[in-house]
Amino acid sequence: MTAFPHLGFWFLAALLAGLLLFIGAPARAHHPGAQDNKWERLDADEPAPVFALTDQNGKRVALKDFRGTAIIVTFLFTHCTDVCPLLAQMLARVDQQLSEAERAKLRFVGISVDPRRDTPQQMKRFLQESRLSEARWTLLTGSVKELTRAARDYGVVVRPAPRGDLVHNTVFILIDAKGRERVEFHGLATPTNEIVKAVRAINADTKTKR
């Protein structure tokens, strides 16, 4: 019998789940039931971290492919039964509050934190089951290395949780049509009307700078 019985369990869990494991305290990581009533807005104006991943149709998609359209990026995984479905519902409500002209200038991007289970086929199934339009949504997956880099570049912390689950940040990142990161919202309590206002301000600002 090993002298450290829990060590083997957590090592195996991390290996099997293909976890994106970060060392350090996750200042904004979501823990069910903890600080769900808090949210934070951070403004920026800098080039968004680039990525090149695989979408729900098996196609390689890069950040540059969204040029000309603003996007809201969030991080999730399709087997999540806690926060991730709520993230998708929140962004669906954002979409409903926009006019047709505003919707034409915005897309939603979900980057997976679960490379082992989130295959393109599984992500496509998630969109269908969540009633999210592929015309509005792009879900992205990739290798452990690719998704680890994307999460790290956007400041997302992912940790293992009991029963093979994952704990990660609740974040909405607004990137303008020129590929510049403009606003981050942190927290599940972020009001959808605040996201809508930020989207409108970013699109108006981008239009005036043309």
More confident residue, 68 or 80: 68
Residue 30 has pLDDT above 90, yes or no: no
Range scoring the smallest mean pLDDT among 27-31, 109-113, 179-183: 27-31
Sole residue written with tokens 């060590």:
7
Share above pLDDT 70 across residues of the chain, in percent, rounded to a whole number: 80
DSSP state of 35: S
pLDDT at site 134: 93
The confidence score (pLDDT) of residue 20 equals 43
Average pLDDT, the chain: 83
Mean pLDDT of 97-122: 95
At 168, the pLDDT band (50, 70, 90 cuts) reads confident
Does the pLDDT value for residue 209 go beyond 80? no
40-208: CATH topology is Glutaredoxin (3.40.30)
State the Cα–Cα distance between residues 165 and 167, nearest whole angstrom: 7
Residue type at position 55: D
Q: Out of 59-73, 74-88, 120-134, 178-192, pick the least confident.
A: 74-88
What pLDDT, on a 0 to 100 scale, did the predictor assign at position 85? 86
Residue 165 has a pLDDT of 78
CA dist 188 and 47 (Å) reads 25
Domain residue ranges in the chain: 40-208
Q: How far apart are CA 157 and CA 28, in angstroms?
A: 8
